[in-house]
């Protein structure tokens, strides 16, 4: 099984497991996964503060949660695929301006510095995690000789990445995703995995 196939399989398996766990937690009103905080605190927040939001807003959030989860898994899968292939080819120190476009390396340095200056916990130790979604597409194009072994066509990758980046904006910025756009997200997800066939 190729690296791309392994990443695809891992990503899809992870999404299915997450979906099953969500269903079990909702059905039995239990928490199987703690996100770094005690369940009692999460439950207190849910019972005390969540009801203070308008019901329509809570329904929107519930509707958008699955879209966020889907995009989160997809974006993390793409990042893992990029870093895995670049590391396999260039070694552990693959993050440099010979492999990554120089302007992206510079932007990432600025983003890391801003986080340090803000005194917040770093989001990651990996520079790739500081790139935006559009920059991921640029990295793939810059290294097309490598990614051509996984993806069928560079223009198709550009198109799918553009569609996904457009769909990412309402998800990342707490806007409702219209039914048509939800369908477009599902189709774009299929398109992404089809690129590796």
Rounded Cα distance, 185 and 177, in Å = 9
Mean pLDDT to the nearest integer, 110-121: 92
**Tokens 């707490």 map to which residue?**
174
pLDDT score of 196 = 77
Give percent above pLDDT 70 in the chain. Answer: 85
* Residue 103: pLDDT over 70: yes
Flag whether the pTM goes above 0.85.
no
Q: Which residue has the higher pLDDT, 55 or 49?
A: 55
Range 155-180 average pLDDT: 87
Mean pLDDT for all residues in the chain: 84
Examine the pLDDT at 2 and tell me if it is beyond 80: no
């Amino acid at each position: 099984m190729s690296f791309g196939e392994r990443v695809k399989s891992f990503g899809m398996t992870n999404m299915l497991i997450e979906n099953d766990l969500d269903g079990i937690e909702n059905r039995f009103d239990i928490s199987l996964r703690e996100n770094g905080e005690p369940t009692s605190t999460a439950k207190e927040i849910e019972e005390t503060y969540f009801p203070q939001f308008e019901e329509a807003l809570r329904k929107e959030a519930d509707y958008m949660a699955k879209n966020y989860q889907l995009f989160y898994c997809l974006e993390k899968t793409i990042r893992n695929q990029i870093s895995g292939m670049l590391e396999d080819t260039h070694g552990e120190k693959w993050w440099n301006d010979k492999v990554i476009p120089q302007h992206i390396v510079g932007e990432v340095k600025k983003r890391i510095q801003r986080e340090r200056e803000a005194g917040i916990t770093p989001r990651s130790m990996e520079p790739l995690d500081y790139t935006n979604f559009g920059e991921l597409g640029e990295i793939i194009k810059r290294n097309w000789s490598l990614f051509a072994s996984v993806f069928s066509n560079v223009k198709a990758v550009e198109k799918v990445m553009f569609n996904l980046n457009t769909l990412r904006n309402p998800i990342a910025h707490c806007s409702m995703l219209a039914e048509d756009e939800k369908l477009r997200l599902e189709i774009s997800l299929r398109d992404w995995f089809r690129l590796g066939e």
